Amino acid sequence: MVQQPPITAPAPLVCFQGNCAGRNTLGMAGALALARHLARHLEIPLQTLGAPGRALPGGWEQVLEAITPDFISMGRYLEKSLITGKHPVLTMSRCAGGLATLPVVARQHPGACIVWLDAHGDLNTPRTTGSGYLGGMVIAGAAGLWDSGLGSDLSLDQVVLAGAHQLDPDEQALIDDGLVYHLPPSELSAETLRQAINGRPVYIHLDCDVLDAGVVPTDYQVEGGLSPEALGALMTALCEENVIGMEIAELESHWPNQSEPADLTTLVEILAPLAKRLLSVDAPCAP
């Protein structure tokens, strides 16, 4: 672990605009829209990394090869932020970006807990995946169950899989074997999350599809997810923890067949208190 000097200035809100293996470009637009809304709400600067492009054709291997240079740049930015004692907040298009961020967090904070808020397990490997979707293999890659080329410093016992309720058989087997701590929506509360964290530093990954279908536009809508009120209660509870950073992914800018941008007001209100705390020096965790 690298010794951290005192914070000299808060980090800006960061939007990673590079491709994160999405099937369309709506996630890139969604990440930027959310970042802009949050930056305006909190009256803080916004920085973008990478450049948006088209959805990439091909299987996961071809996609990973194409996006690896941008992922390396994102990982370096995060590493620099953590080394200098800042508490970064990033938006990104898809959860595959975690292949770049999770190993960095694990190297800099080997005792940290990763609170992975997601409707899915993201514990597949190239051998077990049915879809071939790179985002479904993120945690497994970061933990060395397959080689992404981006690092494997994460240990599965650092992960709290929070809100996952659409799991493939091999993902469920890892949970049943006690290798990953799982809190499905029916068991997820401020208190059970606090117990799972158990005083460890926390890095948060929020996949917006952890919310119930119809709340915000995401590529993978899943019934039985969290209500906005439930997610808000979790974020309020996380304000009381030692949060070292947060990333938000899997939000699309528009609902299908709609020309108007999606209303992100509720999501911004849920995220703003914790984002304010992380991006401000000694800011209270309150709206």
Check if the beta carbon of residue 92 is closer than 8 Å to that of residue 57: no
pLDDT at residue 54, as a whole number: 87
Closest CA to 15 of 33, 41, 42: 33
Q: With a cut of 50, which residues of the chain have pLDDT below it? A: 1-3, 5-7, 284, 286-287
Q: Taking the CA atoms of the chain, what radius of gyration do you get in angstroms?
A: 17
First to last CA, the chain: 33
pLDDT at residue 282, as a whole number: 52
- Check residue 116 and report its DSSP letter: E
Burial (CB count <10 Å: 0-12, 13-18, 19+), residue 267:
buried
pLDDT at residue 56, as a whole number: 86
pLDDT at residue 148, as a whole number: 98
Integer CA distances (angstroms), 257 to 148, 252, 262, in order: 35, 12, 11
pLDDT at residue 227, as a whole number: 98
pLDDT at residue 57, as a whole number: 84
CATH number attached to the domain at 13-279:
3.40.800.10
Q: How far apart (Å, rounded) are the C-alpha atoms in residues 266 and 277? A: 18
